Amino acid sequence: MYDHKYHSEDLSKLNVLVTGGAGFIGSNIVEYLLKYKVNKVRVLDDFSNGHRENLSAFEQHPAFELMPGDIRDLDTCKAAMADMDYVSHQAALGSVPRSINDPATTNAVNISGFLNMMIALKDSKRVKRMVYAASSSTYGDSKALPKVEDNIGKPLSPYAVTKYVNELYAEVFGSTYNTDTIGLRYFNIFGPRQSPEGAYAAVIPLFMQALKDGIPPKINGDGEQTRDFTFVDNAVQANIRGLFASEAAKNQVFNIACGERISVNKLWDFLSEAAGKDLKPIYGASRQGDVRDSLADISKAETLLGYAPSFTVKEGLGVTWDSWVED
């Protein structure tokens, strides 16, 4: 855990629900809340995507509570929100390729599950706000750079559709039922606890594993596609600031990124340098549903959330590589 503090509120009387808390982003949020002495943090997770070991350091903590369960069940969502003051909703099925291969399950978790969370929020008498994980995939086929919240294109994958629908539901529930949400459009979050396992692993943990094993990595396309990679502590910051942001931020969405644009080839160069290894990548076909270039305008989050990235991409890669070496 890093030494940055992103709140001024007294957490000792607050209860916070983190859905998807066994995932790599969720578990980092849990760790932050426990570090700063939250009264209770409850994790709702079905472990279909997250990993129990991500929670192993916290399970004996007196303020930690684990509730195994699936957001596709409305009663589970309502039970998870009982006695909570705030919600950080991270539970979802990520991955563009996964959504292309299995759109039905992605829809069930990301849309039906999100709707259940919104209904539970609407019916809660205590929860003040829900901050939820949105996605930069919402920008779709828009080629405009940098990406600005109010200028999106057409979705390029079923996953992108699901995350856009989340935003629409949040907006409509806000205007209809006066619910209070904040959406965070994540841009390629990476960091410790991100798994390299499975068919849908993200590029950075795959690169890390390749370096650790001394095996050349595979790069989809020519490697000149660009991304705004964002270290996980920056995402934690956005979630914490979002929970306590002013009324001006209510029911809005925000880009959460570094505001840096680097190519996948340059990313590999950074990591190879950090690892002190010289492996030549193997290039394959471009991946269906992927955008070519991505760069976030983070000025709205800076203004309304007080967000300011604590780690550059290169700094975050160094921390992440060190954590892999330690493992």
Enzyme catalytic residues: 159
Neighbours of 222 (CB within 10 A): 11
Neighbours of 52 (CB within 10 A): 12
d(CA 4, CA 7) in angstroms, rounded, equals 10
Q: Quick one: DSSP state of residue 55?
A: G
d(CA 213, CA 65) in angstroms, rounded, equals 36
d(CA 224, CA 244) in angstroms, rounded, equals 38
| Rounded to 5°, angle at Cα 133 from 67 and 35 | 60
d(CA 303, CA 261) in angstroms, rounded, equals 21
Nearest partner of 114 among 47, 56, 58, 159, judged by Cα: 159
d(CA 121, CA 246) in angstroms, rounded, equals 19
Torsion, CA 242, CA 245, CA 249, CA 255, rounded to 10:
-30
State the DSSP H helix or E strand holding residue 230, giving kind and residue range, or none if neither.
strand 230-231
d(CA 111, CA 108) in angstroms, rounded, equals 6
State the DSSP H helix or E strand holding residue 318, giving kind and residue range, or none if neither.
helix 313-326
State the DSSP H helix or E strand holding residue 16, giving kind and residue range, or none if neither.
strand 15-19
